[in-house]
Structure formats: C-alpha cells, structure tokens
Amino acid sequence: MARVARLLIEKFAKETLVAFVDPDTVEARNIYRQNFCKAEVGYNKAIALAARYGTAWGVDIVALAQNFNKDICSSRYDDLTVLIGCVDNPAARRDIRNATRQIEGTVFWLDCGNTKESGQVLIGRNDPGEKVKPFPFPDKCAWLPLPSRQHKELVGKETGGGDLPAGAPVETAGLSCAEIAMLDEQGLTINQAIASIAADYLARLLLTQTLDRFQTYIDLNSGSMKSTYITAANLRGWKR
C-alpha cells in the first residue's frame, strides 16, 4: 500500500491519503506469521506499521488505534476510496460493508482472508448510483459485486447450501488468526501469499488500470490458484 501510494504521489502527482486502522496490540505470537518484529511487541499494530512503512517509503501514513468505522473516511476524499480489509471476523467485515454504502464517491473494497494453507482475495465496488449496466461500454466495467455479496459467509450470513470455496475464511472456536497460527492451524507463508495477490490487485487498480479479475483463490497445499475474470458473462449472476 505504501509503495503504491509513493508511486501515485511521485509519478502521477495524485493527492493520496493512507490510513492504517487497528485497535490491537502486537503480541509475541504475531511475530511468527505476521509482519512484526520483537521490538514492536507491546505497540499498537497500526502505529507500528505506519511508522515503519511511512519511514521506509517517505509517505505520511495516518495511524488510528481504534476499530474501523465510516467516519474515518471523511467525505472530502470523495474522488476514490479503497478500503482494504485484512480482518478475521464477520462483525469487522460488516463495518466495512456499511462504510461502502455511506462514504461519498467511488469506493472499492479489497478483502483478504485465509485459513491454514488457503485463502482468497476479492474486490468489489459500491453502487455507482446510476442506472447503468455493469458494462456500459465493451471494455469498461462500471460495477463489481462487493465481497459481502460474492460470499455472504464473510459477514455472517449462510448461503443455504454448498461448501465455501477454497480459501473462504472459517472460524475456529472464536480464535484470532494469531491464536490459530500458534495452534499450527495456519501456515507460515499463507499471509504473505495473500498479501502479494492483494498488492497486485491494488497496483492494477490504481497504477496500471489493468485490473481484469475480481476473485482469486489460492491453495498452497495443492499449489493451485484460480481467478474469476471481469467479464459480462461472469458478472451476469450478480444484479446491481
């Protein structure tokens, strides 16, 4: 995120605001599979990451040691808002979904989730508020279903049948990702794999404008990765 922001500012002269939001504190168990080090134990996660990445990339990053809510995204940033969710519970995803409905302007929601050795990256766009088709022009997509519509399980609703696709998050007795990891229920590299895919989505969306997929599922155990591409046929199943 910080790298993309630096390029937007330096190469494209875009006014950019980056904010990290997390109420949690770094614990020793976070070091094994998340991007923290021993020196950061005891610090708020958002503050620790904002300081490190802001310094590394020369980007001003706002750190908010609190739960996410729509008021964090002020309406003055009404050109384009990208909400990147790396959360592990339905309530937090509901907060993000609600924000996409209330923030002014164009809002994309990039959602990341994983289990032990599999995970998914999903992206969707808020309703543009106009009576336009998903493809008003052959090569121009104006709308994508939000992650909460792609997989209702993410916000706590059951689909009524069928298993979750590979990589869809599941709960393990209410444990956090860090606790699951300490129980050896999360691989050492799955977080990094999901982060790399999400970073590619972000770069394609904001820098090269070549984003051509809206779902990617990865399974490290089998070595497979599958994406759903942004086509009229693939979007036909979701109505605005």
Query: What's the pLDDT score for residue 110?
Result: 97
Q: By the 8 A CB rule, do 191 and 203 touch?
A: no
Kindly report the CA angle at 215 between 18 and 142, in degrees rounded to 5? Answer: 70
Query: What's the pLDDT score for residue 159?
Result: 43
- Residue 135 falls within a domain, yes or no? yes
Query: What's the pLDDT score for residue 104?
Result: 81
- Residue 147 falls within a domain, yes or no? yes
- Residue 125 falls within a domain, yes or no? yes
**Mean pLDDT, rounded, for 60-64:** 93
- Residue 207 falls within a domain, yes or no? yes
What are the two backbone dihedrals, phi and then psi, of residue 234, each rounded to the nearest 5 degrees?
-75, -25
| More confident site: 78 or 227 | 227
Q: By the 8 A CB rule, do 130 and 210 touch?
A: no
State yes or no: pLDDT of 168 exceeds 50.
no
- pLDDT band of 157, cuts 50, 70, 90: low
State yes or no: pLDDT of 43 exceeds 90.
yes
Total domains, the chain: 1
- pLDDT band of 179, cuts 50, 70, 90: low
- Residue 39 falls within a domain, yes or no? no
Q: How are beta strands 118-125 and 213-219 bridged, if at all?
A: antiparallel
Query: What's the pLDDT score for residue 163?
Result: 36
Structural domain for 174, as ranges: 67-235
**Mean pLDDT, rounded, for 173-177:** 53
State yes or no: pLDDT of 174 exceeds 90.
no
Which of 93-97, 180-184, 210-214 has the least mean pLDDT?
180-184
State yes or no: pLDDT of 164 exceeds 80.
no
pTM: 0.84
Q: Which two tokens stand for residue 178?
A: 């860090």
Over the chain, what is the mean pLDDT? Answer: 84
Q: By the 8 A CB rule, do 99 and 70 touch?
A: yes
Query: What's the pLDDT score for residue 4?
Result: 93
Q: Which two tokens stand for residue 225?
A: 């990765």
**Mean pLDDT, rounded, for 169-184:** 49
- Residue 151 falls within a domain, yes or no? yes
- Residue 124 falls within a domain, yes or no? yes
- Residue 226 falls within a domain, yes or no? yes
CA distances to 39, 147, 183, 192 from 27, rounded to whole Å, are 10, 29, 15, 19
Long-range contacts of the stretch 65-69 (C-beta < 8 A, 24+): 65/22, 65/23, 66/21, 66/23, 67/21, 67/23, 67/92, 67/95, 68/21, 68/92, 68/95, 68/96, 68/99, 69/95, 69/99
- pLDDT band of 165, cuts 50, 70, 90: very low
Percentage with pLDDT > 70 across the chain: 84
User: Which tens digit of pLDDT belongs to each residue from 120-143?
Assistant: 999 999 887 777 677 877 788 889
Query: What's the pLDDT score for residue 102?
Result: 85
CA distances to 106, 136, 158 from 162, rounded to whole Å, are 33, 33, 10
Query: What's the pLDDT score for residue 172?
Result: 44
Q: By the 8 A CB rule, do 121 and 201 touch?
A: yes
